[in-house]
Amino acid sequence: MRIYVSEGSIRNSGHPNISYQYGTSGTALIWHTALPELHSSHSYFSNNIWSSQAEQPFFSIESSQGTTMISDYDLFYSPSGGKAPSGSGIL
């Protein structure tokens, strides 16, 4: 199982939860997609614990489609030493 935030989902939020090693190592815990800019999607996550499998990405964000997310006071753990998500689409 993984969390899929679908296009057309304008505002999503999740707090506090524990997401623990689900899916396969090549699949992100959260896959966040959106339609082009007019219908961009935004998610807000706070006070969560994200634990991935070795080499598993935490998030996959289609920022080129206007998707953004905020991760506020979340804790990230990866047995392979993965770093907390950052970059395009993460505010």
Which residue range(s) make up the domain with 46?
Answer: 3-77
> In whole angstroms, what is the distance from residue 38 CA to residue 66 CA?
8
pLDDT in the model for residue 1: 39
Q: What's the number of domains the chain is made of? A: 1
Report, in angstroms and rounded to the nearest whole number, the Rg of the chain calculated over CA atoms. 12
pLDDT in the model for residue 57: 87
pLDDT in the model for residue 67: 79
In a domain, 17, yes or no: yes
pLDDT in the model for residue 35: 66
Q: Does the structure show a pLDDT above 60 at 64?
A: yes
Phi-psi region of 66 (alpha: psi -120 to 50; beta: other; left: phi over 0): left
Q: Does the structure show a pLDDT above 80 at 80?
A: yes
In a domain, 87, yes or no: no
pLDDT tens, 12-60?
656 567 777 777 788 888 877 766 655 567 788 888 888 888 888 888 8
In a domain, 48, yes or no: yes
Counting Cβ atoms within 10 Å, is residue 8 exposed (0-12), middle (13-18) or buried (19+)? exposed
> In whole angstroms, what is the distance from residue 54 CA to residue 34 CA?
27
pLDDT tens, 2-21?
455 655 555 565 656 777 77
pTM attached to this predicted model: 0.72
